[in-house]
Amino acid sequence: MQLQETGFEGLLLLQPNTYEDERGSFTESWNQETFKEMNLNISFVQDNQSISHKNVLRGLHFQKEPYAQGKLVRVSHGRALDVVVDLRKESETYGKHFKVELDGKQGNMLWIPAGFAHGFVAIENHTVFQYKCDAPYHPHSEECILWNDPSLGIHWEVENPIISPKDLQGKLLHDVKL
């Protein structure tokens, strides 16, 4: 497994090893011992999957303390533009965003520690997005930042995203009480 820093403290790009032969391929996306060897002592309690049509935008979601979640995200089929926003007020990158294309063929992953809002837009039909969480879903602490908050300056690279009514009700970052 290859690990790459992103310039945001704790936010990491991960590239698992993939083995291919005449039968196809095999990838180990998570192994507790491998993660410990990389000083990532993470215990997961929940595993989620969504399937999205092209141009579906989900986010920007997060849970407030004390229920904040870290997430290991990946696309197992299709492609998605993954976006995170740093909500840690003490961080040098507070209010800034990071984005990366996650690709089912490439198998790349992103570790998102607690303290980030997260969202993605599907670039292809039938994009299968999977994520492991280090804390359970807690609906009463869930928040959503508006996907097109002008203060964030996120270019989602899609003209007419398909967005749920719930996500359309997201707040501007400066209106969220962290």
What CATH number has the domain bearing residue 16? Answer: 2.60.120.10
- The CA distances from residue 131 to 33, 48, 169, 171, in Å, are 19, 5, 24, 24
Exactly one of 19, 61, 137, 140 is catalytic; which is it?
Answer: 61
pLDDT-above-70 percentage for the chain: 100
Backbone angles phi, psi at 141, to 5 degrees: -105, 0
- Total domains in the fold of the chain: 1
Spatial distance between the Cα atoms of 12 and 19, rounded to a whole number of angstroms = 22
Is the CA virtual torsion 18, 19, 25, 30 positive or negative? negative
Active site residue 131: yes
pLDDT given at position 163: 98
The predicted pLDDT at position 178 comes to 84
User: In the predicted model, what is the mean pLDDT of residues 147-175?
Assistant: 97
Rounded average pLDDT over 30-34: 91
Q: Mean pLDDT for the chain?
A: 96
**What is the chain's percent helix, strand, coil content, to nearest 5?**
10, 45, 45
Is 126 one of the annotated active-site residues of the chain? no
Which pTM does this prediction carry? 0.94
Structural domain of 114: 2-175
pLDDT class of 16 with cuts at 50, 70, 90? very high
pLDDT of 75 strictly over 90: yes
Q: What is the pLDDT of residue 134?
A: 97
Task: Give 80-134 pLDDT, tens digit per residue.
Answer: 999 999 999 999 999 999 999 999 999 999 999 999 999 999 999 999 999 999 9
